[in-house]
Chain A
Amino acid sequence: MKILIIEDELGLQRSIAQYLTCEGNLCSMASNYAEALDRLNSYDYDCILLDLTLPDGEGLQLLNYLKRMNRPEGVIIISARNSLDQKIEGLSLGADDYLIKPFHLSELNARILAVVRRKSANGDRHIEFNEIRIDLDAKEVLVSGNSVYMTKKEFDLLLYFVANKGKVISKSAAVEHIWGDDADMADSFDFIYTHIKNIRKKLTDAGSRDYFHSVYGIGYKFTEV
């Protein structure tokens, strides 16, 4: 996938690029409005990450531009501003998603995947990982063709891990993915363990191999072997 990161904070820009590049994605970077416009004029992308406050212009203008040009790219706004108004304005101007800073890169990655998949023309709305097949429309998990029942939280969590396959996901990132940041749960992440245990059991019971690996006691990794 080709991803354009429009973000003026260089530290964040590099981190995002580093995380996404490992996935086999191609990342371009733009630190200001002019640069972003220049890139957009020259190349096509699969997904654009857009910071709303740029040193030389408003990110929303870029969104307008993309809409005017009828560009097919998925756009995810990344902003520290989380006022409802701005969120609605951004989404009504054609952004596909809105992520409030600070966020976990695994969350960003999952969102990118979701947006790109939603945008993809062939309508193939499922993700496969070896014998596991996740149907996004039916919200169903199949192991070698057999349906495995999962609760909504378990389904979300599995999808999250599969989207970030090969990456270590911290417990706090997993908790925030499932419970959002409404819930003030900063002091207890351990209950995520129960969920992972349940998912593992359900998958292995259905004949799947165990792809979950605990890492340093800090998080989990969904990966082959």
Chain B
Amino acid sequence: MKLFTRYNRILIIISLFGLLLIGFLFYRMLVYYLDQQIDHDLVEEVMEVKEYSAKGNFYQPHEFEDLVVQYKKIEKANPSSSYGDTLFYNPLKHRKETARYLKTELELVGQPYCVLVIASKFERQEQIRNICLIILIPVMLLFALVLLVNRILLKKIWTPFEQLLKNITAFNINHERPYEPVEMPVAEFRQLNKVLVELSGKVKSDYNEIKLFTENASHEMMTPLAVINSKLDNMLQSNVLGKEDGETLVELYKATSRLTKLNQSLLLLVKIDNNLLQDEEQINLKSLIEEKQVYFQELISERNITVESTLADVSISASRSLLEILINNLFSNVIRHNYDGGKIEISLETDKIVFANTGHNKALDPEKIFDRFYKDNASEGTGLGLAILKQICNRQRYQLDYSYHQDLHTFTITFNHQ
């Protein structure tokens, strides 16, 4: 729920509840006050009755007074009086109306009587209703106005915050663009903005430091690797090596080669990160893929892998070195993780490349396969091939997807993905 909605909801609920409560109390007060007034009138009527009785008459009010006085003879008059609400039939208006009565016992003209004075409340109730309406309508209007102003004001106050959110979302550690600060009129937001500027700067510099470290560490390892490699090359020239020594040398070469490859992959990742490969040009993907297929032909035919390719004549504008690495990695991947006699399907359409291969594994976790150093134990690869693939796709703003169906591991790269 948005802060705005939440705030409004609470505000409306509390205001409505408050209004109802206050309205109810107000109504009760009015009713009480008017009842008091009526009771006072009733007392006056009783006084009138007494006055008339002193003259030997029974008082009867005028018809238009909405007042009824009833006399009933009783045994003995207890000087007491009681008030209450009742319903009475208004003979003038021919309807039942709510009313207030005063019941008292009096000695009238020498006889004990129970006198019941009933006054209609109808007029008064009308008054109450009108008073309530007169007060309620402006209050409701005011309430609506407050809500409206709130809405506009909050929106205005939160606009820079939303911009700030947008800028944080847009902030990418890999991109050159730093976090863009937003002009903030509100002090709290200004502080948040300030913290974000500092934080993004820190994150960026830390990240650059890590990159630099990776780069330097990888570079530094290259020289010792060169020493090992050259010593192996010289050792190989010796005439006294036996078969076992040969096997040892093969293992050493393999290990050195893997270490080298690992280093080169790390360097490549840093290089793509640093956007060092920006030789944008028009590239014919069809011929690039065909060229690479020839390049990998030995590996493919050695393992009796069949390749089915349907290639449309597609050209795109991109970095040549990046695309070459991309296609190289796709090929390496579908060959490496295939089994002997397996199958590779390649399809190139105007908006996407699809590389699919059979393999020993069942479906892989699409969340993890593009992570650095994610690989199955049997693989002799560096575990960086797919990470590089992902990095290139990020850099070129392509979408990279993995799926598994009909026993095929399928990698789809969609260009111009918005």
Instruction: Please report A residues at the B interface, Cβ cutoff 8 Å.
Output: 9, 11-12, 15-16, 18-19, 22, 80-85, 100-106, 167-168, 170, 172-173, 176, 179, 181-188, 190-191, 194-195, 215-219
Contact = CB atoms under 8 A, between A and B. Distances in A.
19 contacts: A11-B230, A15-B231, A22-B237, A80-B223, A84-B276, A84-B277, A85-B276, A101-B222, A101-B226, A102-B229, A102-B256, A105-B234, A168-B236, A172-B254, A184-B336, A184-B382, A216-B241, A218-B236, A218-B249
A186 B258 contact: yes
Contact of B226 (A102, A183, A186): A102
Interface in B252-268: 253-254, 256-258, 260-261, 264, 267
Nearest to B331: A183
Given A12-B223, A15-B231, A168 B264 contact: no
Given A84-B276, A84-B277, A19 B234 contact: yes
A100 B382 CA distance: 19
Given A173-B233, A181-B264, 13 more contacts: A82-B267, A101-B222, A102-B256, A105-B233, A183-B296, A186-B380, A187-B381, A195-B298, A216-B245, A217-B247, A218-B247, A218-B249, A218-B253
Contacts of B229: 102-105
Nearest 8 A/B pairs, CB to CB: A216-B246, A15-B230, A80-B222, A102-B226, A101-B226, A187-B380, A11-B227, A105-B233
Contacts of B144: none
Interface in B73-107: none
A104 B267 CA distance: 20
Contacts of B336: 184, 187
Interface residues of B, number: 52
B206 to A, nearest CB: 22
A184 B328 CA distance: 8
B357 to A, nearest CB: 15
Contacts of A85: 276
Nearest to B228: A102
B385 A102 contact: no
Contact of B261 (A19, A168, A181, A218): A181
B243 interface: yes
A172 B260 CA distance: 12
Contacts of B230: 11-12, 15-16, 19, 102, 105
Nearest to A22: B237
Nearest to A192: B298
B325 interface: yes
B271 interface: yes
A77 to B, nearest CB: 13
A185 B260 CA distance: 12
Contacts of B247: 216-218
Contact of B381 (A16, A83, A102, A184): A184
A83 B277 CA distance: 9
Contacts of B223: 9, 12, 80, 101
Interface of B: 219-220, 222-223, 225-234, 236-237, 241-243, 245-247, 249-250, 253-254, 256-258, 260-261, 264, 267, 271, 276-277, 295-296, 298-299, 302, 321, 324-325, 328-329, 332, 336, 380-382, 385
A192 to B, nearest CB: 8
B233 A19 contact: yes
Nearest to A11: B227
Nearest to A187: B380
A219 B243 contact: no
Contacts of A22: 237
A104 B382 CA distance: 21
Contact of A218 (B246, B256, B325, B332): B246
A80 B266 CA distance: 14
Given A102-B228, A172-B253, A182-B328, A15 B219 contact: no
Contacts of B246: 215-218
Given A11-B227, A179-B295, A190 B302 contact: yes
A102 B222 contact: yes
A167 B237 contact: yes
Contacts of B253: 170, 172, 218
Contacts of A187: 254, 336, 380-381
Contacts of A188: 299, 302
A25 to B, nearest CB: 15
B226 A12 contact: yes
Nearest to B250: A218
Contacts of B321: 84
- Which of A12, A18, A181 gathers most chain B CB within 10 Å? A12
Contacts of B219: 80-81
Nearest to B296: A183
Contact of A103 (B226, B231, B243, B249): B226
B236 A170 contact: yes
Given A172-B257, A188-B302, A182 B324 contact: yes
B236 A191 contact: no
Contacts of B256: 102
A193 to B, nearest CB: 9
Contacts of A184: 261, 328-329, 332, 336, 381-382, 385
Contacts of A190: 302
Nearest to B260: A102
Contacts of A80: 219-220, 222-223, 226
Contacts of A179: 295
Contacts of B261: 181, 184, 186
A12 B381 CA distance: 27
A57 to B, nearest CB: 17
